[in-house]
Amino acid sequence: MPISGAEPLLLVAGLTAGYGKLRVLHGVDITIGRGELVAILGPNGAGKSTLLCTIAGLLSKQSGRMVFDGRDLAGLGAKDTVRLGIGHVIQDHRIFTHLSVQDNLLLAGYDLPRNAHLARIEEVYSLFPEIAAKRHQPGAALSGGQQQMLAVAQGVVRRPKLLMLDEPSAGLSPVLVDRVLAVATALRADGTSVLLVEQAVQKSLGFADRVYALAGGQIVLEAATSEPDLPQRLKRAYFGQDQAAP
C-alpha cells in the first residue's frame, strides 16, 4: 500500500462546512497520499458529497484547513482547484448530450494545449473503449452506463494529481462498476491519487488502500482495507458503536 508520508498530497483538518445555517461537516480530518486510492464510505446524508464539493471549491468551508500539494486552498474556487490538479466527477454528473463524445472531452480540457489535449483524449479512449467506438456520436446516443463512463473520462482527460469520484457506480451494472473501478486502479498505478466516494462497500474495499467511514458529518472510522473484519467494523461505525481511529 502507498505510504502517505509526512507531507500528503491532500490534508484536510478540522473541516466544517454546510449550506447557509445548516452545518453538514463537523471537524473532518482526512489525508490522501500521493498515488493512493482512498474510499469514503457512509450512509446517505452522511456528508460525503459535501466533503468533495468543499475540497473542489464548489462550496466554501466554514472553518478548518485544506492543503493540496503544499498549497492552502482557502479562498480558492472551482476553476482554481482544477488548475492546481484536482479533478472532480460530481454525483449524477450530466454530460452534454447534444455534443459528440469527442466534443465533450475537448470541452473538458478546453484550456489545455491542443496537441497534448488530443493525445490525452486518445489515452482516455484506451481506458474506455466503449465510448471510443462512439466518439463521433452525440452523448444522447450513449447508454446510461456509457454516459457515466464519459463523465469519468471528462475528469480523467486533464490528468489531475487527485481525481475525486462521487459515486461513479450509480446506475451501472456490476460489470461496468468493475470497469470504472479498474480504471481508477490503473490511474493510481500511474501516479494519480484517487478519492472515491461510494456506497458499494465490498467493491470499494477490494480496490482501495485505505477507507474512511463518514456518518453524521464526522469521520467515525479510518482503516487500511487489509485490516480484518473491516465490513463489520464499518457497519458498527455507521451506528455509532465504534470511535474514529486516532
Say if residues 145 and 171 touch (Cβ distance below 8 Å).
yes
Say if residues 7 and 177 touch (Cβ distance below 8 Å).
no
Query: Which structural domain range is residue 28 located in?
Result: 10-238
Total of domains in the chain: 1
Would 244 be classed as within a structural domain?
no
Q: Looking at residue 234, what is its pLDDT?
A: 87
The CATH number of the domain holding residue 101 is 3.40.50.300
Mean pLDDT, to the nearest integer, of 22-46? 94
Say if residues 212 and 36 touch (Cβ distance below 8 Å).
no
Q: What is the pTM of this model?
A: 0.89
In the structure, what pLDDT confidence band is assigned to residue 165 with cuts at 50, 70 and 90? very high
pLDDT tens for 35-78 read 999 999 988 889 999 999 999 999 999 999 999 999 999 999 99
Helix, strand, or coil here: 244? Answer: coil
**How far apart, in Å, are the Cα atoms of 66 and each of 31, 180, 210?**
10, 27, 19
- CA dist., res. 118 & res. 105, Å (int): 9
- CA dist., res. 206 & res. 51, Å (int): 23
Write phi, then psi, for 8 (nearest 5 degrees): -70, 160
In the structure, what pLDDT confidence band is assigned to residue 4 with cuts at 50, 70 and 90? very low
Would 245 be classed as within a structural domain?
no
**Residue labelled with grid coordinates 481525481:** 163
Residue of 202, 204, 230 lying closest to 194 (CA atoms): 204
Range in 32-36, 81-85, 180-184, 238-242 with the lowest mean pLDDT = 238-242
- CA dist., res. 3 & res. 160, Å (int): 19
Would 51 be classed as within a structural domain?
yes
Would 141 be classed as within a structural domain?
yes
Would 209 be classed as within a structural domain?
yes
Stated as kind and residue range, the H or E segment containing 163 is: strand 162-166
User: What residues contact residue 103 under an 8 Å CB cut-off, 6+ apart?
Assistant: 96
Would 183 be classed as within a structural domain?
yes
pLDDT tens for 175-207 read 878 888 888 888 899 899 999 998 778 888 989
Would 26 be classed as within a structural domain?
yes
Would 5 be classed as within a structural domain?
no
The mean predicted confidence, pLDDT, of the chain is 89
